[in-house]
Amino acid sequence: MGQLPRVEWKMFMFGNEARAKAKFTMWLYFQDRMLISDRLNKWGMQVDRECIMCKVHDENRKHIFIECEYAKSVWTTLLKWMQRQPIWATSWDQHWKCAVENATEKSSKAGVFRMIYAEAIHEIWNERNHRIFEKQSRKAEELARNIACICNVRATNQNRTVG
């Protein structure tokens, strides 16, 4: 096969205790393969471009998971729970740099971060879809509490005692 370049997101995928469906959603996110309105519009489909969660900006991958006030609120709540500073920057490069820094270690804190990152991506995506297709919504704090509960249940004993 020869030498292939190392993908930056590898550390998020392997050794992650998140649910398989959360890791798959995160993989779609990393590959920019999610069916978000900006991508559907490029294909010629007529869909509403407005973000369903904040109803202010156009929907794209960066906005839904980083820039949207709803997503920021979810991330801030989760990072407080993890006793970390709210690091979610406004640009993709800043966001990615902070995420990689928090996930690259081999410590329990990094393992918890990777799991929460995957579950948060998955739950934000599900919330977006619930709002579009089922006309149901949850508060950001409720979503963050659900993510925390899922991660607490799935965490190994080693990761559960992170302090």
Greater confidence (161 vs 53) lies with 53
Residue 6 lies in a domain: no
Task: Report the predicted TM-score, pTM, of the whole model to 2 decimal places.
Answer: 0.86
Q: Is 138 a member of any domain?
A: yes
Number of domains in the chain: 1
Tell whether the model's pLDDT for residue 161 goes beyond 60.
Answer: no
Tens digit of each residue's pLDDT (9 = 90 or more) over 103-128: 887 788 888 889 999 999 999 999 99
Q: Residues 4-50: pLDDT tens digits?
A: 787 778 888 888 889 999 999 999 998 888 888 877 778 888 888 88
Report yes or no on 2 lying in a domain.
Answer: no
Q: Looking at the domain assignment, is residue 12 inside a domain?
A: no
Q: Is residue 9 part of a domain?
A: no
How far, in Å, are 6, 14, 96, 99, 108 from residue 114 at the CA level? 18, 10, 13, 9, 10
Domain limits at 81? Answer: 18-162
Asked if residue 7 is part of any domain, the answer here is: no
Task: Tell me: pLDDT of 143 over 90.
Answer: yes
Q: Looking at the domain assignment, is residue 13 inside a domain?
A: no
3 is a domain residue:
no
Q: How far apart are CA 16 and CA 159, in angstroms?
A: 11
